[in-house]
């Protein structure tokens, strides 16, 4: 079977992407070492862990050395910002969010390009609505997602033998979303958000699109209907 590496796979959207791809792909489950990651690998037949902190570039380089071919790379790992105004966001927070959301994805892609080229592979970036527009108090996060969009577009232009897809979901019903709503001071209503199932299905749709077609962008917005 083809092989897929999914970052941020220990929970939420990443875990659901893994579950939906498990029937058709051998999986490398990316994430920091954790019981959750190990449990998912045990649950999914044929899955292995890619247990490394993506900001540890030496560790990532060592972990990728044995990967000779890779059919699918799904960049799902990422963090949100503290929802402060530009006037209140220190340089350290800018550095952290750009390091995790952009630099880590760029470096992992760079290291895996030989394996992706060998397989004629597919790179999927889980972006965000914030990668297409900026709302107040979301500027650092949006900046990282605009940069992730540029990374995907540049990779697509430079690597014509690969397929590169950016997926732009609206807000998703996850534990991270609950934390964000708490920061915003609102009440949590999951009906306002996309399900991880719907977004994972978009990833599967992109990956299983016949080879003669290139799904470059997929935009998903919640309807409020379940």
In the chain, where the domains are located: 3-214
Q: What pLDDT shows up at residue 188?
A: 80
pLDDT at 178 over 80: no
* pLDDT tens-digit readout, 181-201: 777 778 888 788 899 999 999
pLDDT one-digit tens code per residue, 17-32: 999 999 999 999 999 9
**What is the Rg, in whole angstroms, of the alpha carbon atoms belonging to the chain?**
17
Please identify which of the residues 50, 125, 141, 168 carries the catalytic annotation. 141
The pLDDT of residue 168 is above 80: yes
Question: Higher model confidence: residue 121 or residue 190?
Answer: 121
Q: Is 188 a catalytic residue?
A: no
Find all residues with CB under 8 Å of 152, minimum gap 6, and list them: 123, 125, 127, 164, 165, 166
Against a cut of 0.75, is the pTM above it?
yes
Note the pLDDT of residue 83: 86
Name the pLDDT band for 51 (thresholds 50, 70, 90): very high
Residues of the chain with pLDDT > 90, as a percent, come to 84
Q: Looking at residues 150-154, what average pLDDT do you find?
A: 98
Contact 2, 24 (CB under 8 A): yes
* Separation between Cα atoms, residue 195 and residue 203, nearest integer Å: 13
Lateral strand order in the sheet of 122-126: 47-51, 26-31, 3-6, 72-75, 122-126, 163-169, 217-220
Low-confidence winner among 18-27, 124-133, 154-163, 174-183 (lowest mean pLDDT): 174-183
Decide if 15 contacts 39 (C-beta within 8 A). no
Positions of E strands within 63-195: 72-75, 122-126, 163-169
Task: Could you please state the CATH topology (level 3) that the domain comprising 3-214 is classified under.
Answer: Rossmann fold (3.40.50)
């Amino acid at each position: 079977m083809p092989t897929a590496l999914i970052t941020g796979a220990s929970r939420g959207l990443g875990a659901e992407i893994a579950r939906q791809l498990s029937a058709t792909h051998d999986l490398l489950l990316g994430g920091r070492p954790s019981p959750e990651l190990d449990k998912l690998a045990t649950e999914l037949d044929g899955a292995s862990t890619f247990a490394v902190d993506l900001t540890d570039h030496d560790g990532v380089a060592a972990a990728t050395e044995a990967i000779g071919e890779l059919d699918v790379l799904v960049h799902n790992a990422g963090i949100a910002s503290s929802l402060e105004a530009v006037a209140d966001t220190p340089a350290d927070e800018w550095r952290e969010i750009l390091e995790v959301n952009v630099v880590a994805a760029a470096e992992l892609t760079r290291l895996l390009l030989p394996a992706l080229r060998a397989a004629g592979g597919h790179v999927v970036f889980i972006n965000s609505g914030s990668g297409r527009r900026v709302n107040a108090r979301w500027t650092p996060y949006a900046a990282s997602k605009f940069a992730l969009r540029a990374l995907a577009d540049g990779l697509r232009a430079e690597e014509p033998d690969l397929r590169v897809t950016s997926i732009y979901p609206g807000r998703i019903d996850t534990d991270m979303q609950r934390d964000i709503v708490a920061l915003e001071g609102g009440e949590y209503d999951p009906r306002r958000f996309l399900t991880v199932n719907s977004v994972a299905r978009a990833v599967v749709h992109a990956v299983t699109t016949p080879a003669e077609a290139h799904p470059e962008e997929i935009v998903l917005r919640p309807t409020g209907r379940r």
